[in-house]
Structure 1
Amino acid sequence: MEHIISTPTAKAPTERFTGDVYLNPIEAPTEPARLAAALVRFTPGARTNWHSHANGQTLYITDGIGLVGTRNGHVVRVSAGQIVKCPAGEEHWHGGTDTTLMAHIAMVVGDADSDGTTWLEPVTDEQYTHALHSTKGS
């Protein structure tokens, strides 16, 4: 057994995120397990870039209200206790709303060399604003 008291909080890299996002690692893909997990906190308006995962991704929302969107325009408003599963290869993004923070535990299955994430371009302000308006009242 390994008991980890805490992990350091790091600011997320600006080349993969818009706005202020903070990460606390939970697990890195190490043999024989291949789980990568992190607690990710998004301030209002902050979000990931478009990205996909070779083996999919599971998001467990721990706090606040946020958005998860896909390339086909499907967007869901999420809140604490909800789970979103993004299938392998699906390009998507996630983040807080314009007025609320959102935190989630992000989980992916990678391999010994990487977590299998392919990072793409930023979500534009127009895409983000459209996502906000399309989920109002959800």
Structure 2
Amino acid sequence: MTHRALIAAACLIWTGGAFAQGMQVSQNGDREGYIGPDDYFTGTAYVEPLFSAGDSFRSNGASVTFLPGARSHWHTHPAGQVLIVTEGTGWVQAEDGEKRIMRPGDVIRTPPGVKHWHGATDTNAVTHLAIQQLKNGENVIWKEPVTDRQYNGGAAE
């Protein structure tokens, strides 16, 4: 499935009843991306918002590209998260689990409250779609940075 087809499929899955009230189209290039802040990422992560939560829509999504060596900090999602890898090779790890490889087409479902991180490998960039619902107005709770030892060795401290 192509990157655009994955985005379209994700939007259709998550919008459900929104089309009954009127379709909204957000054209490619209309959404302004940004470099993820150091408070939440180590290395360079480019975040391109895709859709946001609204009155009748409690999910938001973004396309995130991590350059080699870049990763998120440890974090949780109050209502869980789905990642859909679209390009490159990356790693994902839950706090009490082993570091796992992510490749294009992989789908990672993280249950609510599970502390985890994700990002590029040390030699390859990775891009994924990140989709999460809001719970009590929050979609992510950021924690401490992933140490180099955790990132390189895979063991959570």
What TM-score comes out, normalization by structure 2 length? 0.80
**1:44-82 residue CA offsets vs partner (Å, 9 max, x unmatched):** 000000000011100000100000001113221010011
Q: Does residue 118 of structure 2 align to residue 94 of structure 1?
A: yes
Q: Of the candidates 117, 123, 131, which is equivalent to residue 154 of structure 2?
A: 131
Residue 24 of structure 2 aligns with an amino acid whose one-letter code is E
1:26 is aligned to 50
Residue 99 of structure 1 aligns with an amino acid whose one-letter code is T
Name the SS of the counterpart of 1:3 in structure 2.
Answer: coil
Distance in 1 separating the partners of 2:116 and 2:52: 22
Q: Of the candidates 71, 81, 88, which is equivalent to residue 57 of structure 1?
A: 81
Distance in 1 separating the partners of 2:116 and 2:98: 9
Distance in 2 separating the partners of 1:74 and 1:86: 14
Structure possessing the higher relative contact order (Cα contacts under 8 Å, 6 or more residues apart): 1
Distance in 2 separating the partners of 1:34 and 1:26: 14
Residue 149 of structure 2 aligns with an amino acid whose one-letter code is E
Distance in 2 separating the partners of 1:80 and 1:48: 19
Residue 28 of structure 1 aligns with an amino acid whose one-letter code is S
Residue 88 of structure 1 aligns with an amino acid whose one-letter code is P
* Max Rg structure: 2
Higher strand share: 1
CA shift, 1:27, in A, is 1.2
Runs of 4+ residues deviating >4 angstroms: none
2:12 is aligned to none
Contact 1:30 1:112 in 2 (8 A): no
RMSD value, Cα: 1.4
Higher helix share: 2
Contact 2:42 2:70 in 1 (8 A): yes
Specify every segment of 5 or more residues in structure 1 that has no aligned partner in the other structure, as ranges: 133-138
What TM-score comes out, normalization by structure 1 length? 0.90
1:121 is aligned to 144
How many residue pairs get aligned? The number is 131
Contact 2:78 2:138 in 1 (8 A): no
Contact 1:29 1:112 in 2 (8 A): no
Distance in 2 separating the partners of 1:130 and 1:111: 33
CA shift, 1:2, in A, is 2.0
CA shift, 1:114, in A, is 3.1
